[in-house]
C-alpha cells in the first residue's frame, strides 16, 4: 500500500507522528476521545473569549510561518491549527475581549489545539458496517482533508489557475462584474502584501533585539505601540521606566508579541490603492465578520471549514484581516467556484475551461518528454463491435508504441473528503476506474485489429 500511495501523482503519505504529550491516551476508545474532544473544545472557546482573539490568531499565524518546515516534530505547528483558531474566533458569539495573553498561556493554547485536532480524528466511531479497507480509506480521507495542504506550489497554482480563468474572462465579467482571473491575481498579490508587512515587522524586531542605541530602541517601541491597540495599552508610558538598556529591550520584546495583528491587517484604503473597485468588493465578499456564522454546525468546521471558501476576516474598522493569505493556494478551486454558484453560463464555461486546460497541459508534458512522438488530442474512433464512437483525450505514438492518456478534471466531492464510503467509491470510480476502462477500449481495439 505504501509503495502504491507514493506512486500516485499529487499524493503524499501523511501520518500523524506520535505525540509524547498524549502517551497516556494510547488505549483510549472512541468514547473517551469524544469526551476529551468536547472538553478541549470548551477550553479553547473560553480561551479565545476572554482574551484578544486577533492577537492570538496573529501570533499563531506568525508561529506557523517562522517554524522551519523541514524539521518534522509532533509539536511542529501546522496550517490547520491556524485555520481552527480563525474559525473558532469567527464562531465566538460574545463581544471580543481586549485582554492580553501571556507567553505561557499561549503555549498552553497551542498544545490544546494540537490535542483537540487529534481528538477529532480519534473520536470517529467504528460503525461495524465497514470492512477494514473501507475504514482505512475513510480515515485516510479525513486525515488528508484535515491536515494535507498545498498540492500546488505557488508557481504551479498561478500557472494552472491563470490558464483556466483566462478562458472564462468574458463570461465571468458578464456574470459577476469582474474577471475571475483579475480576482485571483489580486488574492495572490495579497500574499505579497502580507509578506512585505511581515518583513517590515521582523526587521523592526531584529533591530529591537540587536541595537546598542537607546534612541533606536525607542523608535522600535513606538512602531510596535502604534501597530495594534493592545500593544500600546500594555506598554502604557513604560519607556522611561527602565534605565538599563537590556531591561528596556526585554520588556519591549514582550510588548511586541501583542503587535502581530499589524502584519495581517490591510485597510480599505490600502486595498483601494492596489486594486480596482470591483475587485476590492469581491475580496470583501470573501471575508467573514465575527459572529456571523450562526447557521454553521460547529461539528462541520473540521472537514468543511467555511474559511476554505472565504479566507479573510472582516474586522470592525472595515479592514481585511488575512492571517492565512495563502489559502488561495491551498483552496483555489473551492474559493473561486463558490463565487460562480448560481451563474450557470459561467459554470458551464468554467467546466469546459478546466477540461481544455488539462488536455493542453498533458499534451505539452508528453510533447516535452517525448519530442519524437506524434501527439494527438481528441482522438475519436468507431467501435465496430458496439457501433459506438469513443474518444480518447491524448494519444502519443512513438515507433510501434502507443500511449493513451485520459484527462479527468473532476473533483473529490465534499462527502468523500469527509470519509463517506459510498462517495469515495463513486469518486474513485469516476476519476480512476472509468478512465482506465476508457483507455482499455482503445487498447483492445488496437490489439484485435
Which is more confidently placed, 126 or 32?
32
Q: Name which of 65-69, 222-226, 305-309 the model is least confident about.
A: 65-69
Q: What is the pLDDT of residue 19?
A: 83
pTM, rounded to two decimals: 0.90
Does residue 164 have a pLDDT over 50?
Answer: yes
Does residue 150 have a pLDDT over 80?
Answer: no
Q: What is the pLDDT of residue 75?
A: 62
Does residue 2 have a pLDDT over 60?
Answer: no
Does residue 6 have a pLDDT over 70?
Answer: no
Residues of the chain with pLDDT > 90: what percent? 67
Mean pLDDT, residues 7-15 taken together:
51
Residues of the chain with pLDDT > 70: what percent? 94
Does residue 215 have a pLDDT over 70?
Answer: yes
pLDDT band at 422 (very low <50, low <70, confident <90, very high): confident
Does residue 338 have a pLDDT over 60?
Answer: yes
Q: Name which of 140-154, 271-285, 373-387 the model is least confident about.
A: 140-154
Q: What is the pLDDT of residue 8?
A: 42
3-state secondary structure the chain: CHHHHHHCCCCCCCCCCCCHHHHHHCCCCHHHHHHHHHHHHHHHHHHHHCCCHHHHHHHHHHHHHHCCCCCCCCCCCCHHHHHHHHHHHHHCCCCCCCCCCCHHHHHHHHHHHHHHHHHHHHCCCCCCCCCHHHHHHHHHHHHHHHHCCCCCCHHHHHHHHHHHHHHHHHHHHHHHCCCHHHHHHHHHHHHHHHHHHHHHHHHHHHHHHHCCCHHHHHHHHHHHHHHCHHHHHHHCCCCCCCCCHHHHHHHHHHHHCCCCHHHHEECHHHHHHHCCHHHHHHHHHCEECCCCCCCCCHHHHHCCCHHHCCCEEECCCCCEECCCCCHHHHCHHHHHHHHHCCCHHHHHHHHHHHHHHHHHHHHHHHHHHCCCCEEEEEEEEECCCCCCEEEEEEEEEECCEEEEECCCCCCCCHHHHCCCHHHHHHHHHHHHHHHHHHHHHHHHHHHCC
Does residue 10 have a pLDDT over 50?
Answer: no
Does residue 11 have a pLDDT over 50?
Answer: no
Q: What is the pLDDT of residue 7?
A: 42
Q: What is the pLDDT of residue 153?
A: 86
Does residue 341 have a pLDDT over 60?
Answer: yes
Amino acid at each position: 500500500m505504501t509503495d502504491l500511495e507514493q506512486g500516485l501523482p499529487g499524493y503524499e503519505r501523511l501520518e500523524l507522528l506520535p505525540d509524547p504529550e498524549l502517551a497516556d491516551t494510547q488505549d483510549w476508545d472512541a468514547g473517551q476521545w469524544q469526551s476529551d474532544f468536547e472538553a478541549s473544545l470548551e477550553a479553547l472557546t473560553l480561551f479565545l473569549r476572554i482574551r484578544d482573539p486577533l492577537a492570538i490568531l496573529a501570533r499563531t499565524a506568525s508561529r506557523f510561518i517562522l517554524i522551519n518546515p523541514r524539521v518534522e516534530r509532533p509539536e511542529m505547528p501546522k496550517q490547520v491549527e491556524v485555520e481552527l483558531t480563525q474559525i473558532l474566533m469567527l464562531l465566538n458569539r460574545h463581544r471580543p475581549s481586549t485582554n492580553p495573553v501571556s507567553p505561557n498561556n499561549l503555549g498552553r493554547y497551542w498544545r490544546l489545539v494540537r490535542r483537540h485536532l487529534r481528538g477529532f480524528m480519534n473520536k470517529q466511531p467504528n460503525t461495524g458496517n465497514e470492512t477494514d479497507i473501507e475504514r482505512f480509506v475513510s480515515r485516510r480521507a479525513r486525515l488528508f482533508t484535515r491536515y494535507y495542504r498545498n498540492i500546488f506550489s505557488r508557481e504551479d497554482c498561478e500557472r494552472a489557475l491563470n490558464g483556466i480563468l483566462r478562458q472564462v474572462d468574458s463570461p465571468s465579467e458578464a456574470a459577476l462584474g469582474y474577471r475571475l482571473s483579475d480576482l485571483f491575481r489580486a488574492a495572490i498579490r495579497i500574499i505579497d502584501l502580507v509578506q512585505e508587512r511581515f518583513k517590515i515587522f521582523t526587521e523592526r524586531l531584529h533591530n529591537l533585539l540587536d541595537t546598542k542605541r537607546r534612541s533606536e530602541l525607542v523608535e522600535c517601541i513606538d512602531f510596535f505601540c502604534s501597530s495594534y491597540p493592545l500593544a500600546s495599552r500594555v506598554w502604557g508610558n513604560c519607556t522611561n521606566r527602565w534605565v538599563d538598556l537590556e531591561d528596556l529591550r526585554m520588556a519591549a520584546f514582550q510588548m511586541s508579541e501583542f503587535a502581530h495583528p499589524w502584519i495581517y491587517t490591510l485597510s480599505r484604503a490600502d486595498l483601494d490603492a492596489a486594486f480596482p473597485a470591483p475587485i476590492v468588493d469581491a475580496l470583501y465578499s470573501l471575508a467573514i465578520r465575527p459572529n456571523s456564522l450562526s447557521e454553521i454546525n460547529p461539528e462541520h468546521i473540521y472537514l468543511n471549514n467555511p474559511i476554505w471558501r472565504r479566507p479573510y476576516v472582516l474586522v470592525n474598522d472595515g479592514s481585511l484581516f488575512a492571517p492565512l493569505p495563502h489559502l488561495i493556494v491551498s483552496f483555489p478551486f473551492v474559493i473561486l467556484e463558490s463565487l460562480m454558484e448560481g451563474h450557470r453560463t459561467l459554470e458551464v464555461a468554467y467546466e469546459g475551461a478546466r477540461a481544455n486546460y488539462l488536455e493542453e497541459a498533458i499534451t505539452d508534458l508528453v510533447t516535452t518528454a517525448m519530442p519524437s512522438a506524434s501527439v494527438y488530442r481528441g482522438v475519436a474512433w468507431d467501435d465496430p463491435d458496439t457501433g459506438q464512437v469513443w474518444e480518447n483525450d491524448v494519444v502519443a505514438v512513438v515507433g510501434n508504441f502507443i500511449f493513451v492518456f485520459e484527462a479527468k478534471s473532476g473533483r473529490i466531492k465534499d462527502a468523500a473528503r469527509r470519509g463517506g464510503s459510498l462517495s469515495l467509491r463513486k469518486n474513485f470510480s469516476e476519476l480512476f476506474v472509468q478512465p482506465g476502462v476508457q483507455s482499455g477500449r482503445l487498447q483492445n481495439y488496437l490489439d484485435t485489429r
